[in-house]
Chains A and B, each alone.
Chain A
């Protein structure tokens, strides 16, 4: 063992810079992983640390309409602490400036929350706003509408004073405030009759606590929860909220985790490439040692020791890098997580990443190390003995161990073996395709060379199929980085296009809760602001009771025909009309109902195809709806495909005229007012003249979503760039490994009298061709993969910006070209004799 350690040290001492370069490539992969793992663990710990503060109570029961007497009785029977919360959407108006905003009002009692606290600015506002009859506004909302504590705002037609800014309530995700900013209002200020208006959307919640935490109280609340669920109420416990929050946060961290894993795959590739070149350069040394009588252990052991050292150094530097990056992630991801994540320098994450990074480096390096076994001592006598490249049993075992470990790791990241298999399969497919592209590029260079080409160009093309040039490996390393970055870019482009599409030449205002007697006056007001389009339709809310005679509760438990719970239990917002809108509605099964209903049952209705799929129903099925206590039997007469992006009033269920016209209803209006100032003035006028009407500015929402996407993409891109940087370092390491061969050729050319510019241009051109090959194959694969995701996953037409990769391509190709140029220049700096000596040293 002492011999092995000594030889390892002596070998390292001869070329420490090469070792450190390989280690840094590995460190980048480990760094990404560490940052993400740290963030994820810190987030989980923060969520766990919140305990009952996550819910603010021990049990929450909820309904989207006022509690029935039976439900109300059940809650009132609870003798422990309880408080109620009602939330609804309404318009906020700042009388001084005329600014308006759709807000979510949460009307609460002083007891809320039982656990945790309302975080406000000033802090005292949380204590005083109830007694003074004031309101708290989300911090971001206060900035948007420019109000200060003490200002008066109008909320649903009522003037109230602002007590302060609301920073956080228990268990809420801050980003929620961007989409639906909240206003906290004392419950006593809300008139109960406002919820009796048809079409009024609200959520009614009761928060209950154990009180003394006695076993009796805990059992009592559990029993109440079961009973509440039986009575059709939504029930949420602290554990349930925790799972939900972890699930939401997990989606973000798992996505980033996969990016980190991709970086690790690149790191592995780098490690495998590095060790491969290392072993290649040591073939003769191993043969010499074998010839001198060294056993396999003695001949190969020193390289394995160096591999271990590479893994340890790479993982350690990577953890340090990751910790630095982990300091930035919380700020980038703060809006997307439910609890503040302050400290992310976590020892457990660092230790886990260190092990994972180190282990994968060693596993990736095992395959090249197994090839040492096959180096014959005969090579000492016959220098042209070809290497044996075929995989033997040990090589196959090394590949299997690495693949198995990657699968286990990916399954841990994704929480699913199937997804892990798919992901790993995808990575392997991309790697294989890139390798194939690299091999094809080599082959193409060999057959395409023409004697008529300039000598420089022939030299560059010839360089790509030079033995041991590793064109395929270089294409894999650079191509993989390009693939990842461009795929992220293309997917983000499509997400943005989808969002932007909603914002152009389509209604940008949605108005709800308009009462039938306000319809004419409201539309008059709207027309005064010169809208380019107006769509108005009645809206009636209802619930599904049964399908083909089977109640929704029973259907929920039906294992034979799985149906989506959200569809069974949702509140359906429906309309009635006999005309179809051909521009946005297409009948795909059955026939459109053109006659008015004669009042008989079942009523023929039209179902949107998506909801029909979720309910597992088709033409001819019977559905019973409950419309404000009255049951309506219906029969599915047709299925409709709807263009939801049209931003016109669209409905899951459409009744014919004459069936439900008399049911309590509200009017839904969609309109487009392109001019920003006119749109703002209209919203202010609605808030003043129709305080019960809620106006949603779709453009504003789209901008908010776009901004959120942008912030998330910064986090994703930083990981992707680290991946590319890792690939770039691998390239640098590989080029250094091949430098001696190029040096030899350059010196030979110079000795034969070639001008300096030919040597420099030839090498730079070779690198340029290599970069272009890797870039084109990475981009082609990326477009193919993202095309599949966009078409099948996002269900959008694939229309990438074909020119956007120039931002990536120019610096990448430029940097690689520069490396080639510098390499050529380096050869010119040495005297031929000096270079020959250096080459003869490196070649053995």
Chain B
């Protein structure tokens, strides 16, 4: 299997009033293409920091993060953005939809950035896939939390990403909606062979992943 993401000796520290705070320390990690991995750990254990390093949103203080054999460190901000546009999908705990755009336009964003001619048809197909064909022109404020997260999932899969990062994707949803969202995520992962890295507190959700990574005090345990 091909490696999609690798961490070699990665640490991340922040300056603070009380000195330096180490958010993650000495992380070595490899994710194979098509796998599903859950990142578990209590609040403050460094999960979100690790996710931001994995997606090239932040730089490590030490070590190297490679995405598809290329180090994020060798890319400038626009090159990283291009890489994310073509290879990465995101699902956030608070959905992070653009509120001035309706559901269809939110899904269109990555497709239009890629310059795809079939952008609208593709966006409509994805929204249909997540069960929102009847909500294409609704704005985020007119959608329920579960519906917003489904739009976010449709957007995340719009560019057929090599890897999808999901940060607490069910954290803001009730039990019923959470189940439906997780089913959808795993179904689309199977259909498209996307690698999935999930940050979660939910052990049941983690159990559905092939790999479970436990973090504590900034380290993988």
Name the one of B58, B94, B139, B155 contacting A292, with C-beta atoms under 8 angstroms.
B155
Residues of A within 8 A of B187 (CB): none
Inter-subunit contact B167/A296 (CB<8 Å): no
Inter-subunit contact B141/A837 (CB<8 Å): yes
Inter-subunit contact B141/A291 (CB<8 Å): no
Q: How far is B140's CA from A284's CA once the two chains are assembled, in angstroms?
A: 15
> Shortest Cβ distance from A634 into chain B, in angstroms?
81
Inter-subunit contact B99/A842 (CB<8 Å): yes
Inter-subunit contact A293/B82 (CB<8 Å): yes
Interface of B is mostly: helix
Inter-subunit contact A293/B96 (CB<8 Å): no
Inter-subunit contact B112/A3 (CB<8 Å): yes
User: Which of B26-34, B64-72, B83-91, B188-196 sits within the interface?
Assistant: B83-91
Inter-subunit contact B81/A6 (CB<8 Å): no
Q: For window 103-132 of chain B, which residues contact chain A by CB distance below 8 Å?
A: 105, 109-110, 112-113
Find the residue from A14, A284, A381, A383 having the highest chain B CB count within 10 A: A381
Contacts A292-B110, A295-B82; is A10 near B57 (CB within 8 Å)? Answer: no
Contacts A293-B85, A293-B86; is A378 near B57 (CB within 8 Å)? Answer: yes
Inter-subunit contact B90/A291 (CB<8 Å): yes
B52 within 8 A of A: yes
Q: How far is B100's CA from A838's CA once the two chains are assembled, in angstroms?
A: 12
Inter-subunit contact B99/A292 (CB<8 Å): no
Q: How far is B119's CA from A6's CA once the two chains are assembled, in angstroms?
A: 14
B204 within 8 A of A: no
A416 within 8 A of B: no
A694 within 8 A of B: no
Q: How far is B83's CA from A841's CA once the two chains are assembled, in angstroms?
A: 29
Inter-subunit contact B77/A381 (CB<8 Å): no
Residues of B within 8 A of A293 (CB): 81-86, 88, 110, 113, 159
Provide the A296-326 mask, 1 if CB < 8 A to any CB of B, else 0.
1010000000000000000000000000000
A725 within 8 A of B: no
> Shortest Cβ distance from A5 into chain B, in angstroms?
11
Residues of A within 8 A of B51 (CB): 381
Q: For window 2-16 of chain A, which residues contact chain B by CB distance below 8 Å?
A: 2-3, 6, 10-11, 13-15
Provide the A709-746 mask, 1 if CB < 8 A to any CB of B, else 0.
00000000000000000000000000000000000000
B207 within 8 A of A: no
B7 within 8 A of A: no
Inter-subunit contact B88/A10 (CB<8 Å): no
> Shortest Cβ distance from A445 into chain B, in angstroms?
24
B157 within 8 A of A: no
> Shortest Cβ distance from B153 into chain A, in angstroms?
13
B209 within 8 A of A: no
Q: For window 343-402 of chain A, which residues contact chain B by CB distance below 8 Å?
A: 376-378, 380-383
A844 within 8 A of B: yes
Q: How far is B140's CA from A285's CA once the two chains are assembled, in angstroms?
A: 13
A840 within 8 A of B: yes
A289 within 8 A of B: yes
Contacts A3-B113, A10-B105, A381-B167; is A838 near B81 (CB within 8 Å)? Answer: no
Residues of B within 8 A of A382 (CB): 48, 52
Q: For window 263-305 of chain A, which residues contact chain B by CB distance below 8 Å?
A: 284-285, 288-296, 298
Residues of A within 8 A of B101 (CB): 10
Chain B residue with minimal CB distance to A382? B48
Q: How far is B155's CA from A844's CA once the two chains are assembled, in angstroms?
A: 17
Inter-subunit contact B140/A841 (CB<8 Å): yes
Q: For window 482-497 of chain A, which residues contact chain B by CB distance below 8 Å?
A: none
B18 within 8 A of A: no
Inter-subunit contact B57/A383 (CB<8 Å): no
Chain B residue with minimal CB distance to A842? B99
B97 within 8 A of A: yes
Inter-subunit contact B57/A376 (CB<8 Å): yes
Residues of B within 8 A of A378 (CB): 52, 57-58
Residues of B within 8 A of A377 (CB): 57, 81
B75 within 8 A of A: no
Residues of B within 8 A of A296 (CB): 77-78, 81
Q: How far is B141's CA from A288's CA once the two chains are assembled, in angstroms?
A: 17
Contacts A10-B105, A295-B82, A381-B48; is A838 near B141 (CB within 8 Å)? Answer: yes
Residues of B within 8 A of A291 (CB): 55, 57, 84, 90, 96
Name the one of A2, A10, A294 contacting B100, with C-beta atoms under 8 angstroms.
A10
Inter-subunit contact A383/B77 (CB<8 Å): no
Contacts A293-B81, A293-B113; is A841 near B90 (CB within 8 Å)? Answer: no
Residues of A within 8 A of B52 (CB): 378, 381-382
Contacts A841-B141, A844-B96; is A292 near B167 (CB within 8 Å)? Answer: no
> Shortest Cβ distance from A768 into chain B, in angstroms?
32
Inter-subunit contact A294/B113 (CB<8 Å): yes
> Shortest Cβ distance from B151 into chain A, in angstroms?
13
Q: How far is B160's CA from A790's CA once the two chains are assembled, in angstroms?
A: 73
B98 within 8 A of A: yes
Residues of B within 8 A of A840 (CB): 141
Residues of A within 8 A of B88 (CB): 293
Inter-subunit contact B90/A380 (CB<8 Å): yes
> Shortest Cβ distance from A656 into chain B, in angstroms?
84
Inter-subunit contact B58/A289 (CB<8 Å): no
Contacts A291-B57, A293-B84; is A380 near B112 (CB within 8 Å)? Answer: no
Provide the A220-248 mask, 1 if CB < 8 A to any CB of B, else 0.
00000000000000000000000000000
> Shortest Cβ distance from B94 into chain A, in angstroms?
7
Inter-subunit contact A292/B78 (CB<8 Å): no
Q: How far is B83's CA from A381's CA once the two chains are assembled, in angstroms?
A: 18
Contacts A293-B81, A293-B82, A296-B78; is A844 near B99 (CB within 8 Å)? Answer: yes
Q: How far is B137's CA from A10's CA once the two chains are assembled, in angstroms?
A: 13
Residues of B within 8 A of A298 (CB): 113
Q: How far is B178's CA from A299's CA once the two chains are assembled, in angstroms?
A: 31
Provide the B17-54 mask, 1 if CB < 8 A to any CB of A, else 0.
00000000000000000000000000000001001100
Residues of B within 8 A of A838 (CB): 141
Residues of A within 8 A of B159 (CB): 293
Q: How far is B99's CA from A91's CA once the two chains are assembled, in angstroms?
A: 80
Inter-subunit contact A844/B97 (CB<8 Å): yes
Q: How far is B51's CA from A295's CA once the two chains are assembled, in angstroms?
A: 21
> Shortest Cβ distance from A309 into chain B, in angstroms?
15
Chain B residue with minimal CB distance to A376? B57
Inter-subunit contact B94/A383 (CB<8 Å): yes
> Shortest Cβ distance from A842 into chain B, in angstroms?
7
> Shortest Cβ distance from B111 into chain A, in angstroms?
10
> Shortest Cβ distance from B120 into chain A, in angstroms?
12
Q: How far is B94's CA from A840's CA once the two chains are assembled, in angstroms?
A: 10
> Shortest Cβ distance from A12 into chain B, in angstroms?
9
Provide the B142-178 mask, 1 if CB < 8 A to any CB of A, else 0.
0000000000000100010000000100000000000
Q: For window 729-767 of chain A, which residues contact chain B by CB distance below 8 Å?
A: none
Residues of A within 8 A of B90 (CB): 291-292, 380
Inter-subunit contact B98/A285 (CB<8 Å): yes
Chain B residue with minimal CB distance to A377? B57
Residues of A within 8 A of B110 (CB): 292-293
> Shortest Cβ distance from B161 into chain A, in angstroms?
10
> Shortest Cβ distance from A383 into chain B, in angstroms?
7
Chain A residue with minimal CB distance to B56? A377
Residues of B within 8 A of A13 (CB): 100
Inter-subunit contact B100/A288 (CB<8 Å): no
Find the residue from B78, B97, B98 having the highest chain A CB count within 10 A: B98
Residues of A within 8 A of B109 (CB): 289, 292, 294
List of 7 A-B pairs having minimum Cβ-Cβ separation, nearest first: A293-B85, A14-B100, A841-B141, A293-B84, A378-B57, A841-B99, A295-B78
B interface list, Cβ under 8 A from A: 48, 51-52, 55, 57-58, 77-78, 81-86, 88, 90, 92, 94, 96-101, 105, 109-110, 112-113, 139-141, 155, 159, 167
* A-B contacts, 8 listed (Cβ < 8 Å): A288-B98, A292-B85, A293-B81, A294-B109, A296-B77, A381-B51, A381-B57, A382-B48
Beyond A14-B100, A378-B58, 10 additional contacts (C-beta under 8 Å) are A6-B112, A290-B77, A292-B109, A293-B159, A295-B81, A298-B113, A377-B57, A381-B52, A840-B141, A844-B99
